[in-house]
Amino acid sequence: MSSSKPNNIILLGSGATGGYLAQELSIENNVILVDKDISKINQLKNKSNMDLMAITGDAADLNTFKDLDLNSIDFFIACTNDDQLNLLTAMYFERIPGIQTLIVLKESKYKDYPGRLGFPEIKTFYPGDIVSEKIVNLFETPYSWETDKIADSNVLFLKVKIEESSDLIGRSIYSLNKDGDKKWKFLAITEDAQSEKLNYIKADNTTIRLKSGDIALVLLVDEHEKDFEKLYFANKEIDIKNIFIVGESYISENVAKKLINRKCNVKILVSDKARGRELSETLNDAQIIYGEPTNKDIYIEHGVDEGCDYFLALTEDDEINVLSALLSNKLKAKNSLVVYSKSEYQNIINSIGAEREVNVKYSVVGEINSYIMRKKFAHETIIDEDTKIFEFKSSRDISLKDELDSIVLALIIRGSDSVEYITDLDDRKINKDDYAIVVTLNQDAEKKLESIILEWIFQNLYILVVFL
């Protein structure tokens, strides 16, 4: 475990997002979980075996917090399904010196409320914006199952699914990384992509070869993205023009706007006529279609077939998104993407043939965790429940040679005036002042890496304090 001083965090709400956030934060922080529903708290603690303090009570009643030493709290995070409650409690805690307040919002209309109410320091996280950005990023790398921009958008982290027709089948990871000298690096692949849980193993030797159905994790220097695409995906048609969106959500509207700006032909299927009229006014160049999202006849009528370049299931209902994507795949749409929240749907989505997926819960929690991690001189991106990306500027020479094999030293960015991207890192050494990108493939690796990153920092802070 880390020798660093953990953050003291009050987390309000134990729903899907709040519960997963509690799970992630409790690894390296002291979390106080607050919810008025004791059964939710107990269920979460039993399921995840988390070490945290729980308070049962109504957060709108400030007496709920009366026994806490609020002067020792570093962060307050409001993550309930009630935006007004989130805002109310955040404004109260923002007035307490030393506490950074964060809120997760359900509705877009509240995004600017902290500033309008005189609390601009409250940090807001709106899932609609976070997920929309992730989806649009995928259109920049259409061959990728999932794309994250890291290292100030200078590096792409790709999740690439190996299809039956892929030129990558039979290639060794070793040879692929030789191709990508200082441009890209294949980091890990799934042991079994059809298993109930995606388990990644380090891919660093000549014997590991890609096969159909594998999912590979790849790090790619952004300026070389076109080289990567041309070399490995030249035979894949990636011209994207015809888009079919299911759902009248904020995400649907936001993504549609950006795709229309890219000169795409966009159709949106909505079930609510009033919302459809709103979309017609804001999206003049989109075709609005009325009907149920699982109606196969509507899909056939409006070209959800081989001429559909991308089918986007963007409703707020996981089950409907999965079913509609299944229909689109049966009708031979070229690509499909599913937005979902419940983690148990991930493998179902994989099994129905959906090429891409975005998990709302992972996306939001990843953003929050990264924000908090930056206070500890690091940045974290969540890929799934086990797989994480860590970015940090090293304050000392570090060797990972004898550490867990599930800690993958992916990339080093060295220098300031003339930046060098280093992918050939067999010695697993990080020099002082290097900007390092490291991927952890399980929670044990995550804990170990955090202890390595933070140990020196806080030891030396302690020495400095003693000296002063």
pLDDT for the residue 463: 37
CB 28 within 8 A of CB 450: yes
Provide DSSP, 170-197: T-BHHHHHHHTTTTEEEEEEES-TTSSS
Query: Residue 250 and residue 444: Cα distance in Å, rounded?
Result: 37
**Global pTM value:** 0.79
pLDDT tens digits, residue range 192-217?
Answer: 766 656 788 888 778 888 998 888 99
Neighbours of 314 (CB within 10 A): 27
Task: List CB contacts of 39: < 8 A, sequence separation 6 or more.
Answer: none
pLDDT for the residue 152: 83
**CATH assignment of 8-125, given 3.40.50.1100, 3.40.50.10420, 3.30.70.20, 3.40.50.720?**
3.40.50.720
33: left (phi over 0), alpha (psi -120 to 50) or beta: beta
So where are the chain's domains? 8-125, 131-233, 242-362, 366-467
CB 14 within 8 A of CB 78: no
Q: How confident is the model at residue 18 (pLDDT cuts 50, 70, 90)?
A: very high
Same fold, 8-125 and 131-233: no
Query: Residue 7 and residue 79: Cα distance in Å, rounded?
Result: 18
Better-predicted residue by pLDDT, 310 or 456: 310
pLDDT for the residue 468: 36
Give me 400's structure tokens.
Answer: 């990972």
Query: Residue 388 and residue 21: Cα distance in Å, rounded?
Result: 14
CATH of span 366-467: 3.30.70.1450
pLDDT tens digits, residue range 136-188?
Answer: 888 888 888 888 888 888 999 999 988 888 889 999 988 999 898 889 999 99
pLDDT for the residue 2: 36
Closest C-alpha among 308, 312, 448, 457 to residue 378: 457
CB 402 within 8 A of CB 465: no
Q: Which CATH architecture has domain 131-233?
A: 2-Layer Sandwich (3.30)
Task: List CB contacts of 77: < 8 A, sequence separation 6 or more.
Answer: 9, 10, 11, 12, 21, 101, 102, 103, 104, 368
Q: What average pLDDT score do residues 321-347 get?
A: 89
Helix (H, G, I), strand (E, B) or coil at 341: coil
Q: How confident is the model at residue 42 (pLDDT cuts 50, 70, 90)?
A: confident
Query: Residue 165 and residue 236: Cα distance in Å, rounded?
Result: 9
Closest C-alpha among 314, 362, 335, 261 to residue 132: 314
CB 388 within 8 A of CB 441: no
pLDDT tens digits, residue range 85-132?
Answer: 999 999 999 999 999 999 999 999 999 999 999 999 999 999 999 999
Fold for the domain defined by 242-362: Rossmann fold (3.40.50)
